[in-house]
Amino acid sequence: MINVVHVVCAMSGGVDSSVAALLLKKRGYHVTGVFMKNWDSLDERGVCTSERDCDDAYKVCRVLDMPFHQVSYVKEYWHEVFSNLLREYQKGRTPNPDIICNKHIKFKHFYQYAVSSLGADAMATGHYARTSLEDEEVFQQTHTPVPRPLFRDRLEIRNPVRLYQGADRLKDQTFFLSQISQDALRQTIFPLAGLTKDFVKKIAAEAGFHHVLKKKESMGICFIGERHFEDFILEYLEPKPGHFVSIEDGKIMGKHKGWFTFTLGQRARIGGQKDPWFVVDKDITTGEIFVGPTTNHPALLRDTVQTNRFHWITEEPPAELIRTQMMDCHFRFLHQMPLCPCTVTLNLDGSVWITAKRPLRALTPGQFAVLYKGDECLGSGKIVRLGPSEHTLQKRHLQLSRNPKNSEQSSESDS
């Protein structure tokens, strides 16, 4: 008797997961489609988008003659993703809910549901990414129930599964997968690993998935969708009115409804101001948002950040970094920004300092710094501290040049 491999595919109602399911079926696997409901409300037009997406996913499963399930993680999403998002905004940070959602919902709760409740040999998603395992190797992995033993299998540690960029570098989604666990990655297949988005759309068209091809790509908050951000966040956080203050001369430029409605680098629409001003800093103790008159103001440019404890995909830092505490690689803190050369310094508490080779615009606390070495995504850490901006360094230089005696006295007291 031939054992048929069982793969559970996460179905979002979009073109990528639909084609992923189709490709798995073509490989001869027994595929079960599962739609996750993670948010429970209507969009701004009064339409329940999750119901519409669920219906689209069901239609694809019906065409492919696949079993279809729906699972709700509304409670888990609220406690583990959305509440975290609100706390981060209150601290003046700008969180990335997509990375947190993948870590806690899709690659934890859904992964455990797929392998434990549905008995799957592997789970699959429509992400543009790849791993170091071939499909057959994924099926040979055994699920470790939670909680797992204190000590892991030594062979497993020596041969961790690695996460690599997908063939379509413009669509590569390893950025959003940079916090997932080694256990989940070990039993995950990415059927779109070697494909481009254009080719995926072509496959969908040939398969007759016209209802998902018509949908525009989701660009909003993970599982919540596109909203007017200020209105949306003010439904959950009390307004904290404050002033816009010029970083140049301290002049009050206008009023805002709360520091959490703005992020660094964003254009600040200030009533009565003809010229554009941009958010360069925030002070949550006073409620002031500091603004600069140019999009690349020196107050927005810096080259150094510190993360919290870094999450390494392979569970251990690279050998080079362990050996010397420093390593050259690349990083990004926004999904589609070009990879930037950097030097990483490992701290004793597991956090890292990242120094970019050139100043970058709007490095932002709360965002994730994702590291890459060649094609490999090494993992990520949340930015919790910023180095000095070019504006701060220029001011210090100016003060020292005006007061050289103070500089000398300061140097003597330091020595």
Which sequence positions are flagged as catalytic?
101, 222
114 token code pair:
């797929």
Nearest to 57 by CA among 69, 74, 39: 69
Nearest to 237 by CA among 266, 257, 253: 257
- Cα→Cα distances 248→71, 235, 277, Å: 52, 33, 12
Alpha helix segments (H runs only) across 132-246: 135-139, 154-158, 182-186, 197-207, 210-213, 229-233
CA distance 355 to 328: 10
Neighbours of 47 (CB within 10 A): 11
Alpha helix segments (H runs only) across 5-134: 15-26, 49-63, 74-77, 83-90, 97-101, 111-112
CA distance 117 to 114: 6
Packed helices 197-207 and 15-26: angle between N→C axes, nearest 10 degrees: 70
3-state secondary structure at position 120: coil
**Is 230:257 a contact under the CB 8 Å cutoff?**
yes
**Is 11:34 a contact under the CB 8 Å cutoff?**
yes
Return the DSSP state at 298.
G
**Is 150:362 a contact under the CB 8 Å cutoff?**
no
Nearest to 133 by CA among 189, 57, 79: 189
323 token code pair:
């050996």
